[in-house]
A and B are shown apart, each in its own frame.
Chain A
Amino acid sequence: MKTYVGSGDRGRTSLLSGERVEKSHGRIEAIGDVDELNSLLGALIAALPEKEGELRAALQGIQADLFHVGAWLATSSGSPTLEMLHEIGPDHTKALEAAIDRIEAALPPLRSFILPGGHPSAAWAHIARAVCRRAERQVLRLAAPESTERLNSVIAYLNRLSDYLFVIARFCNSLHGIPDEVWQK
């Protein structure tokens, strides 16, 4: 199966809702950020210890959800295609919050900023977190003129996902006995 089509060689691409747009279009920028985030989750998963099957499954579930996020971003408001998309809504965000609370309860309380880094898996989680924040900002730019409820749900999801990745970074370090490196002012 060939992976290329070649219809984007002149700098334009199609949205799921049918419009032809420049590849510098805000939606394509946002989709690119989500794609980068998804790839970084792949790197994080690859750096996890073998025994962390549960966390691996959780992260792969998020990867699948990010494909749905991409579909939302590729569909303009008012398009009938929206009816066919899988919702990324408050339930997804609440599931992240529950996971954050559960993991954080097993970690030492945090009273200061920490330096991103530590074990490679934690470092990947921090990079993913930063890219997630960027994706969120990019979606915010889309949402400002369109202000759709569904895009707002995506923004809330990405916001919570970056928090989740912060906690996962700490969790990965704790798995390897690496303490948080506190920022010394």
Chain B
Amino acid sequence: MTISSSGNSLTGPFTAELLRRSWLSEKTFELELMRPAAFQFRPGQRIRLLHKGVERDYSLLSRPDSPRLGLCVRHLPAGLFSPILAAAEVGTSFAFTGPHGYFIFHRSSRPPVFVATGTGVAPFLSMTRSGVAGFILLHGVQTAAELYYRPDFGAAASLYVPCLSHASPGSALPPGAYRGRVTDCLRDHLSPGAYDFYLCGRREMIRDVILLVDERFPGSLVYAEIFY
């Protein structure tokens, strides 16, 4: 007896071969997988990698029309999936499903404000590579070494502010950087008004920014992608 007309919007599983891994910093690397021809996505969406009963979602870095799928991975030695990806040899095949999520860019009359922590910058890179421009981007990282994609946002962002949470007092900052957390930067420097906020990264950042939006930026919309 089948009642559901099936309608599962997910597709796959697909199989993709690992083409390249490049380390962006001591703790972060980028992977490139061959994009299966039948796999389509929209900038900002993610895929779910599957390996020996373990699964993990990663936002895509690449343009939808690229022949390669780019992923930005934080290497957690005690994690379930990133050690597998960090050690996998080029040529290894990975199964994945997707695309997942609704985290896409919506054009509107409100200024877009992108807020990312760490590798949460990935969906914004995909959007930027797909032509989205004119946004404010706050990228929260611990140190300047993690600002690996800064050049990619140069021309597209109306304002790009690296927020360095672990910069020691008195130390030199990269040009245009803010010493502190993204939430503090928003509170201190974003003019009152209504915006479209796009948040991607750690749950603590998402929670803090949403509470700040309710308090300081009424009438704004909030789209969030939480890293678990």
Helix, strand, loop or mixed for chain B's interface?
loop
Residue of B nearest to A3 (CB): B228
Residue of A nearest to B218 (CB): A20
Q: Is the interface of A mostly helix, strand, loop or mixed?
A: helix
Q: Is the CB of A99 within 8 A of B211?
A: no
Cα of A62 to Cα of B6 in the assembled complex, Å: 9
Q: Which residues of A contact B213 (CB under 8 A)?
A: 20
Residue of B nearest to A63 (CB): B4
Interface residues in A151-181 (C-beta closer than 8 Å to B): 164
Which A5-54 residues have a C-beta within 8 angstroms of B?
Answer: 5-7, 10, 12, 14, 16-20, 54
Q: Find out whether the CB atom of B8 lies under 8 angstroms from the CB atom of A2.
A: no
Q: Are B7 and A6 in contact (CB under 8 A)?
A: no
Q: What is the size category of the interface that chain A forms with chain B? A: 35 or more
How far, in whole Å, are A106 and B73 apart by their CA atoms in the complex? Answer: 56
Once A1-B228, A7-B207, A14-B224 are accepted as A-B contacts, the answer to whether A61 and B106 lie under 8 Å apart by CB is no
Cβ contact within 8 Å between B210 and A7: yes
The reply to whether A68 and B222 form a contact with Cβ atoms under 8 Å apart is no
Asked whether A64 lies within 8 Å of B214 as measured between CB atoms, the reply is no
Are A99 and B206 interface neighbours, CB within 8 A? no
Interface range on chain B (Cβ under 8 Å from partner): 20 to 34
B1/A102 in contact, CB under 8 A: yes
- Any B CB within 8 A of the CB of A77: no
Output the residue of B8, B104, B107, B210 with the most chain A CB within 10 A. Answer: B210
Query: Is the pair B106, A80 in contact by a Cβ cutoff of 8 Å?
Result: yes
- For A94, list chain B residues within 8 Å (CB): 5
| Residue A137 is within 8 A (CB to CB) of chain B in the complex | no
> Are B221 and A99 in contact, CB atoms less than 8 angstroms apart?
no
Interface flags, B168-208, vs A, CB<8A=1, else 0 = 00000000000000000000000000001000000100110
Say yes or no: A5 contacts B4, CB within 8 Å. no
Question: Bound complex: CA of A10 vs CA of B21, how far in Å?
Answer: 43
Q: CB distance A58 to B7 under 8 Å?
A: no
Q: How many angstroms from the CA of A111 to the CA of B14 in the assembled complex?
A: 52
Taking CB atoms, residues of chain A closer than 8 Å to B1 are: 54-55, 57-58, 99, 102-103
Q: Bound state CA distance, A59 and B5, in angstroms?
A: 12
Cβ–Cβ contact A68 & B106, under 8 A: no
The answer to whether residues A7 and B211 also contact, given A86-B8, A92-B7 and a CB cut-off of 8 A, is: yes
Known contacts A10-B214, A19-B221, A55-B1: A84-B102 contact under CB 8 Å:
yes
CA distance A65 to B214 in the complex (A): 32
Please give the distance in Å from B98's CB to the nearest CB on chain A. 13
Asked if residues B228 and A81 are in contact (CB atoms below 8 Å), the reply is: no
Q: Is the CB of A12 within 8 A of B106?
A: no
Chain A: CB-nearest residue to B203? A5
Instruction: Tell whether, in the assembled complex, residue B203 and residue A16 are in contact, meaning their CB atoms are under 8 Å apart.
Output: no
Q: Let me know if A96 and B7 touch, CB within 8 A.
A: no
How far does the alpha carbon of A24 sit from the alpha carbon of B104 in the complex, in Å? Answer: 27
The 14 listed contacts between A and B (C-beta, < 8 Å) are: A4-B203, A6-B207, A7-B210, A18-B221, A18-B222, A20-B214, A20-B221, A57-B2, A58-B4, A65-B7, A71-B102, A81-B106, A87-B7, A91-B5
Q: Which residues of A contact B (CB under 8 A)?
A: 1-2, 4-7, 10, 12, 14, 16-20, 54-55, 57-59, 61-62, 64-65, 68, 71, 79-81, 84-87, 91-92, 94-96, 99, 102-103, 164
Q: Which 6 A-B pairs have the closest CB atoms?
A: A61-B4, A18-B221, A7-B210, A86-B9, A91-B5, A7-B207
